[in-house]
């Protein structure tokens, strides 16, 4: 059985009319997964309620108290914006806490069973820095999950692979200070947020950025995996591999210009399975609903 951590409460993060990071993204994925031939192999799991898990200490280990209070205040004041792209609704703070709990549940599942899991949650997180959210992101889910994993017995090294089409500037800025965490990103460059140059290797040589030019296909991605990603991850020998699984590198995605097909994510997943089965996938971007759903299916299908 393949665990998918999901709650309909994640739909309550209301980004407003016309915003690309919308609840319909999750609806499309859930509907598609319920219709696949192997739907009976999916183990749907609810995230641990925040009333039953103290998630704030894990968030406070990554984000400043001032920023956390800003998100809470905006939500409790009726909603507003962190920046032009990043809305906060009345329920967004609570749902962002639940999303963090889901990512922590994912870490627990993967480490306990030594098999992959998928966190189907929103809001996303890889653009959120320690001091502010941006680019649709509130809390840095992947960085929080990595830091949490290092507190578990026998976990000494964690790697984060970010295949979202946009560079995870927040994740990198947070984890590059920790030599026990490695970060690798393939992203369209130049593109939002303008970071992620190949020369940026992190404070401990624990960062690998692979800028991809517009129009890149699976041929270029496969070459990047073979020549750079897999050697980098193999050298690290991570006890857990977290994937910031954004699916906006699809050719149909409206926010970028990379030319992957949904089935290509199966190819990338097979590469990662050659490193470890301790794989935690967590949803980041992806804004063409059909391509997004098909890509998640391709990812999970390879793990069965």
Residues annotated as part of the active site: 127
Angle, CA of 300, 136 and 24, to the nearest 5°: 55
How would you write 155-178 as a 3-class SS string?
Answer: CCCEEEEECCCCCCHHHHHHHCCC
Residue 144: partners with Cβ closer than 8 Å, 6 or more residues away:
58, 59, 61, 62, 100, 103, 104, 125
**How deeply is 100 buried, as exposed, middle or buried, from its count of CB atoms within 10 A (0-12, 13-18, 19+)?**
buried
**Phi and psi dihedrals of 159, rounded to 5?**
-115, 145
User: In terms of DSSP bridges, do strands 207-212 and 86-88 run parallel, antiparallel, or are they unpaired?
Assistant: unpaired
Place of tokens 């995870």: 168
Give kind and range of the element (H or E) at residue 80.
Answer: strand 80-83
User: Taking the C-alpha atoms of 155, 161, 167 and 169 in order, what is their torsion angle to the nearest 10 degrees?
Assistant: 0
């Amino acid at each position: 059985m393949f665990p998918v951590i999901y709650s309909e409460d994640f739909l309550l993060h209301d980004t407003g009319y016309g915003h690309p990071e919308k609840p319909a993204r999750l609806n499309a994925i859930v509907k598609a997964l319920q219709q696949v031939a192997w739907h009976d192999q999916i183990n749907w799991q609810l995230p641990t309620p925040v009333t039953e898990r103290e998630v704030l200490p894990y968030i406070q280990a990554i984000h400043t108290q001032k920023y956390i209070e800003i998100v809470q205040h905006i939500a409790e004041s009726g909603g507003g914006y962190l920046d032009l792209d990043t809305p906060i609704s009345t329920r967004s703070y609570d749902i962002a806490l639940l999303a963090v709990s889901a990512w922590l549940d994912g870490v627990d599942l993967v480490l306990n069973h030594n098999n992959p899991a998928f966190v189907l949650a929103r809001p996303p997180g890889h653009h959120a820095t320690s001091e502010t959210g941006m680019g649709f992101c509130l809390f840095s889910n992947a960085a929080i999950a990595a830091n949490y994993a290092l507190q578990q017995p026998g976990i000494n090294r964690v790697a984060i692979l970010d295949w979202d089409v946009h560079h995870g500037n927040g994740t990198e800025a947070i984890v590059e200070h920790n030599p026990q965490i490695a970060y690798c990103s393939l992203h369209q460059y130049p593109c939002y947020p303008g970071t992620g140059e190949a020369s940026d290797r992190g404070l401990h040589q624990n960062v690998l950025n692979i800028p991809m030019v517009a129009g890149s296909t699976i041929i270029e991605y496969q070459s990047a995996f073979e020549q750079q990603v897999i050697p980098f991850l193999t050298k690290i020998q991570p006890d857990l591999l977290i994937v910031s699984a954004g699916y906006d590198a699809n050719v149909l995605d409206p926010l970028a210009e990379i030319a992957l097909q949904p089935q290509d994510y199966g190819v990338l997943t097979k590469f990662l399975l050659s490193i470890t089965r301790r794989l935690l996938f967590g949803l980041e971007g992806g804004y063409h609903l059909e391509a997004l759903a098909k890509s998640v299916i391709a990812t999970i299908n390879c793990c069965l």
